[in-house]
Amino acid sequence: MTVDPAARVAELRAQIAHHNERYFAMDAPEISDADFDLLVRELTELEAAHPELAVADSPTQTVGASATFAPVEHEIPMMSLDKAFNTDEFDNWHTRLVRAAGEGRELGSFVCELKFDGLAISARYENGTLVRAATRGDGRVGEDVTANVATIANVPKQLGSDAPAILEVRGEVYMPISDFNALNDARREAGEQLYANPRNTAAGSLRQKDASVTASRNLRWFAYQLGQVEGAPTLTRHSETFEYLDSLGFPVNDQVKVVESADAVKAYFADAEARRHEFDYETDGAVAKIDSLAMQRDLGVTSHHPRWAIAFKFQPEEKSTKLIDIQVSIGGKGKATPFAVLEPVFVGGSTVQMATLHNEDQVKVKNIRPGDTVLVRKAGDVIPEVLGPVLSERAPDLPEWTFPTHCSCENHHPLSRSEGDAAHYCLHPTCPIQRDAWIEHFAARAAMDIEGFGERTVQLFTAQGLLSDIAGVYELDFEAVGQIEGFGEISVRNLETSIEASKGQGLGRLLIGLNIRHLGNSGAHVLAKAFGHLDKIIEADLETLASVDGVGPTIAESLRAYFDDEINLGIIERLRAAGVDFNGPEVIEVDQTLEGLAIVVSGGLENFSRDSVKDAITSRGGKSPGSVSKKTTALVVGESPGASKVTKAEELGVPIIDEAAFVELLETGVVPPG
C-alpha cells in the first residue's frame, strides 16, 4: 500500500507533539527515548525528501517544552545534542568533522562525559550571587525555577570573591537512585502510588510550586558547561571548563576523561555502558565533545545542535520475568488500554512491575499470554516494554488472552472499537473510572492546573459524593471537604484558592481540560486563537472547524460530536455559571502584507522568539515553512543560521536578508534589495 507522505507527516507530528507533552509538561512519558527518536528520525527524513511539507513549527525544528513557571529567554541557546545509536553512526559523525575541519587540520583531543538522565538547568550568577535558574525549555526560552533550584544542597548560592561579573553555568539536575528508592519505600508503606523512575521524579520535584517540597526530595546537580560569561579567565579547552567550575565550588562529575582519538572515545563509551549501574544516578548514554574551544567555534552549530558534540545512547537492557496478568485501564476519554502486570524484575537500574501494552493489536502482535515468561526491556532507562514471550518456556495448554468485552466499572458497559481505530472505548456517560480520570485530567498542569487535585484527591471526593464531573470542581462544598481526614483549614484554603485561580486559565487550557477525543494540546490552543471564544467553536459547523490550520476532518468531527451532546453542553453551562473564562488569546488584526509569500527563518533573531517570528509571518497571510525551496520568497538569517538552508538559498537564487530587512518586509510585503 502506498503511503501518502503528507498524511504520514501529519500523523508523525501529532504523535511527536503528544509525546513531547507527556515528557516535558507532564513528566509522564508513554514511550521510550529510542522509540521517540525513531519517530523524529522518520519525520526528518520525510521532510528532507518532501521540502514542501516542512514547516517552521515542526517538532524537528524545536525541542519540547512546557510553561508552568515564568518564561526565561536564554542569552545563548541551550541546544540539544545530535545522537548516535551505534558505533557506525559515531564514525559517520567523526568523518563529517574531519571533512569540516579541512585538509591537514587535526581535530585534536576529545572530552568524554557521562550523559545523565535528568533535567538540564541553567544557573546564572551575577558578581558571585545566584540570581536565576531556568530549565532548557525549547532551547531559547525556559522556565524560571530559581526558588526550587536554590533548595538543592550542592548548587552554590554564593561564589567567592574571584567570581566573574556574569557566569552562566549549565548542568543536569537529578535524583540519586538511593534517594529515589527511599522515597518509593516511604510511599509504599503509606499505601501511595509509587513513582516511575528517578528522571521523572526529579523533573516533577523541580516544578513544584512549593519549594519546600523540592527541598525534601534531595535533588543533586552536576555542572558541565559554561553559557554566557563576562569577566572570567580566558579558557582555550573544554576540559579547562571543568577545572574552572571545580575551582569555584561547582559539583563536577568524576567520570570526565580527555582522550586523543576516535577509537579511545569508543572505548570510553563501551566502558561507561558496562559500568552504568555502578553509579548512584541514572545514565542513558555518554557524550563526546571536541576539546578545543577554537575548533568548536569553527565547526559551529546547526539549527538543532552543535556540530562538535555527539551523544552516544546506550543499548536498552533486557531481562526475563513472569507475566502474571494482562489488565485493562480506562482513561479520561474512555480509552481502554491493556497493561502487563509483571513479577518484579530489576532492569535498566530500577524494579519494573508494570508495562503498557497500548492496545489489543499490540498484544496479538507480541503473542503474549498471562503465565508466559516474557522479555522486558527498559528502553532509554525510562519506559518498560514487554518485547515478547520466551516460547520455549510456554506451557502447552496456556490459553490466549482475549480483550474484555465490557468495562470493568459498575455499569459493565460494552467496550467499542470503531473501524480504523486501534483502541477500544467505554462510551457510557457515567462510567465512574472514566469520570475520575477525566476530572484528574481537567485539573492537570497542562489543563486547568489546579494544585492539590491529583488522583487520590479526586477518588476521595467522588467516593464521598462531593464530586461527579468536571463542573463540580467549581461547586465543591469546602465545609464538607474540611470534615475529611487530612484536610485541615490550611489545606482547604489552599485548594479553594487554586480552584478559584484556575477559572482564568483561558480557552486553550479549558479545551484541553474538556478532554475531547483526538484534540491534543497544540490543537486546543490553535482553536482558541482561531475562534477567540468557546461559544464560537460550539456554533461552528463541520466545514468551518475542519478549515482551521492544524485541525482537519477527524478532529472537526470529534468536536462536533462533543458539542452536539446535551450532557456536555450542560457541563459547559455550569462552567460558565461558575465564572470560568471562555475567551481565547487576543488577536491583533494586521495588514495582510505577506499573502501568498513563503518566508523561511534560520538562526536566532534579536527581537523575535521562534513562536513570535512565525506569528509575525502567518498573521500577515504568509507561510512559514521549515526548509528552503524554489517557492521560497526569502530566507531570513539570524545568529547561527543553518548552513544547509543558506547553501540551498544561494543555489536557488532565493534572496537572503537580515533581521532589519525582515522587519521592512513585514511592513511592506516587498523584499528589500540586497
Catalytic residues: 115
For the chain, state the CA radius of gyration.
26
Report the run of H or E that residue 174 belongs to, with start and end: strand 166-174
Given a contact cutoff of 8 angstroms between Cβ atoms, the answer to whether 654 and 634 are in contact is: yes
Interatomic CA distance for residues 384 and 353, integer angstroms: 9
CA distances from 558 to 55, 538, 563, 564 (A): 25, 12, 9, 10
Report the run of H or E that residue 634 belongs to, with start and end: strand 634-637
CA distances from 55 to 38, 228, 552, 617, 647 (A): 19, 30, 17, 12, 18
Write down the residue that cell numbers 565547526 correspond to. 299
Residue 625, phi then psi, degrees to nearest 5 = -70, 165
Amino acid (one-letter) located at 640: S
Helix locations, 387-451, DSSP H: 432-442
Given a contact cutoff of 8 angstroms between Cβ atoms, the answer to whether 350 and 197 are in contact is: yes
How far does CA 67 lie from the centroid of its chain? 11
Interatomic CA distance for residues 114 and 255, integer angstroms: 7
Write down the residue that cell numbers 545523565 correspond to. 116
- CA-angle at 228, arms to 227 and 233, nearest 5°: 95
- Which of 618, 622, 619 is CA-nearest to residue 632? 622
Amino acid (one-letter) located at 583: N
User: What letter would DSSP give residue 22?
Assistant: I
User: What letter would DSSP give residue 80?
Assistant: P
589-620 as b/e: b if 16+ CB within 10 A: eeeeebeebbbbbbbbbeebebeebbbbbbbb
Interstrand relation of 634-637 and 656-657 (parallel, antiparallel or unpaired): parallel
DSSP code string of 180-199: HHHHHHHHHHTTPPPPS-HH
Cell numbers of 13, please?
A: 507530528
CA distances from 569 to 402, 574, 583 (A): 36, 9, 17
Amino acid (one-letter) located at 63: V
Which distant-in-sequence residues (6+ apart) come within 8 Å of 240 by Cβ?
A: none
Which distant-in-sequence residues (6+ apart) come within 8 Å of 232 by Cβ?
A: 164, 167, 226, 244
- Which of 405, 417, 422 is CA-nearest to residue 357? 422
Dihedral (Cα; 222, 227, 231, 232), 10-degree rounding: 40
**Positive or negative: CA dihedral 537, 24, 120, 144:** positive
With both helix axes pointing from N to C terminus, report the angle between 566-578 and 507-514 in degrees, rounded to the nearest 10: 140
Query: Partners of 383 in the beta sheet?
Result: 379
Amino acid (one-letter) located at 579: G
Cβ count near 444 (within 10 Å): 20
Write down the residue that cell numbers 476521595 correspond to. 460
Cβ count near 328 (within 10 Å): 18
Interatomic CA distance for residues 613 and 457, integer angstroms: 42
